[in-house]
């Protein structure tokens, strides 16, 4: 059966619609600046129906619980909640997904739900590893999380939001022509390509137990995206990529920064490694927008990550990215213990709204998530000297890249309207900029047949093809 995709748009109060003045963008964030953030939260009311125990795909259920917890805690009163359907956002059409993925792979995904038996023998052609299992609703599910990420990127690129949140997104392992892990469509790459239609440079930051392999591969040869990834590496851990020496190629040389760590990674390790690298990357690269994959696999108790990071440490990692004060897209990434992922993403949402991290013990008792979280302490295999060497190598690589000028941050629509001539006519070149922004119009995407525009970098995989 076809699943419903959502309800009409529902908007709630937001904290402020005022734009942050340029001089304030350079200042350290404080409570006042946090209150001025325009935060948009994207969700689909029926995301949970796509959970599949057979495919080990628990994330849709986890995202549904997160959405409920965010509302239960009253955070919906401090941001704009945008639901799919109606005048909100729509699941990504096939033509839009083909901006990155190949025609053959997208055609295969489209057939799974209603014609799965006919294409069952083709599945092996579209998987990168044996961790992939296609659920019967893999395609509509992928359309939902990809559509949300791309719409969120459009809101940032057009200055309609300072922070956009899509916890269903962050499926960073899919390649152009196949699935990998639980990732069918790479919404991260699609969102970054959407941003690059309007801005010059994007900083992508992965904080999770798994390496964002598909994102690294897509932008390995371009200098318009700098990738910083903190992840567990070694001992046969999925996906096996993300070595410290992988620095990028051709124009992208020096723009790929991997921070591989071992099991047992702790709060102190995280604080010593991540903030200095993120701050140095932002200062040197001067991105116009930031995409943060805030996975929860590194939290203590996650059934796959085997890390020791607490909610407090995770919150500090999110805060160090928000402190950059650039248009920021927050994506969910991995998280394989529902009670932990749900609370972590709710806490990150509260930080985006300018609130304090949500205390674990004071959430609504009638929420279906357990009130008590089991704590699992793993032996820490990360030595201080090894972490210091990783940090210094990353800082040296960042310093080897060209220093960029501060970017032009997208202005809010109100500011753009105020700059129009008295007769109301659009300034010269405005139509061209609107066309370059691309958006997710299916007709426009069909006309281009998914070909990247001149403003977009050619992904490495596409160049090889």
Separation CA 380–CA 362 (nearest Å): 30
State the first-to-last Cα distance of the chain, in angstroms, to the nearest integer.
36
**3-state SS, residue 371:** coil
Q: In whole angstroms, what separates CA 338 from the centre of its chain?
A: 19
Looking up tokens 């325009």 gives 38
Nearest to 465 by CA among 221, 257, 162: 221
Asked if 148 and 330 count as a contact pair (C-beta separation under 8 A), the reply is: no
Please work out, in degrees rounded to the nearest 5, the angle formed at the alpha carbon of residue 347 by the alpha carbons of 233 and 289: 70
> Is-cis flag, bond preceding 239, omega within 30?
yes
Asked if 183 and 172 count as a contact pair (C-beta separation under 8 A), the reply is: yes
Exposed, middle or buried: residue 425 (CB in 10 Å: 0-12, 13-18, 19+)? Answer: exposed
Separation CA 44–CA 19 (nearest Å): 28
* List 61, 78, 151, 173, catalytic entry: 173
Token pair recorded at residue 428 = 């010269």
Active site residue 5: no
Catalogue the active-site residues.
173
């Amino acid at each position: 059966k076809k699943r419903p995709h959502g309800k009409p748009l529902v908007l709630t109060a937001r904290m402020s619609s005022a734009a942050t003045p340029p001089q304030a963008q350079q200042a350290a964030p404080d409570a006042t600046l946090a209150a001025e953030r325009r935060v948009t939260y994207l969700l689909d009311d029926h995301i949970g129906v796509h959970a599949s125990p057979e495919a080990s795909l628990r994330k849709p259920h986890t995202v549904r619980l997160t959405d409920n917890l965010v509302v239960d805690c009253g955070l919906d009163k401090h941001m704009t909640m945008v639901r799919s359907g109606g005048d909100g956002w729509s699941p990504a059409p096939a033509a839009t997904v083909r901006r990155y993925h190949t025609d053959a792979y997208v055609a295969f995904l489209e057939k799974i739900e209603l014609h799965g038996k006919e294409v069952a023998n083709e599945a092996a052609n579209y998987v990168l590893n044996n961790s992939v299992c296609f659920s019967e609703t893999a395609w509509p599910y992928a359309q939902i999380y990809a559509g949300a990420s791309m719409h969120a990127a459009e809101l940032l690129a057009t200055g309609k939001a300072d922070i956009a949140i899509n916890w269903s997104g962050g499926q960073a392992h899919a390649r152009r022509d196949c699935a990998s892990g639980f990732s069918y469509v790479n919404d991260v790459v699609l969102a970054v390509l959407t941003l690059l239609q309007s801005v010059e440079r994007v900083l992508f930051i992965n904080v999770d137990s798994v390496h964002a392999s598909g994102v690294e591969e897509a932008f390995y040869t371009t200098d318009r995206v700098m990738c910083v990834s903190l992840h567990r590496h070694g001992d046969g851990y999925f996906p096996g990529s993300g070595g410290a020496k992988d620095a990028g190629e051709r124009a992208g040389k020096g723009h790929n920064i991997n921070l591989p760590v071992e099991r047992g990674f702790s709060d102190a390790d995280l604080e010593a490694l991540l903030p200095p690298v993120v701050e140095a990357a932002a200062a040197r690269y001067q991105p116009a927008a930031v995409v943060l994959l805030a996975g929860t696999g590194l939290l203590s108790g996650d059934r796959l990550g085997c890390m020791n990071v607490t909610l407090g440490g995770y919150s500090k990692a999110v805060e160090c990215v928000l402190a950059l004060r650039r248009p920021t897209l927050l994506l969910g990434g991995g998280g394989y213990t529902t009670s932990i992922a749900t609370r972590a993403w709710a806490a990150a949402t509260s930080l985006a709204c300018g609130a304090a991290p949500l205390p674990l013990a004071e959430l609504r008792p009638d929420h279906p998530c357990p009130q008590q979280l089991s704590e699992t302490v793993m032996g820490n295999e990360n030595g201080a000297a090894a972490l210091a060497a990783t940090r210094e190598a990353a800082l040296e690589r960042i310093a080897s890249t060209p220093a960029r000028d501060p970017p032009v941050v997208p202005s809010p629509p109100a500011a753009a309207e105020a700059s129009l001539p008295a007769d109301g006519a659009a300034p010269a070149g405005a139509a061209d900029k609107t066309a370059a922004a691309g958006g997710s119009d299916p007709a426009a995407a069909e006309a281009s047949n998914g070909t990247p525009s001149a403003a977009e970098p050619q992904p490495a995989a596409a160049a090889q093809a």
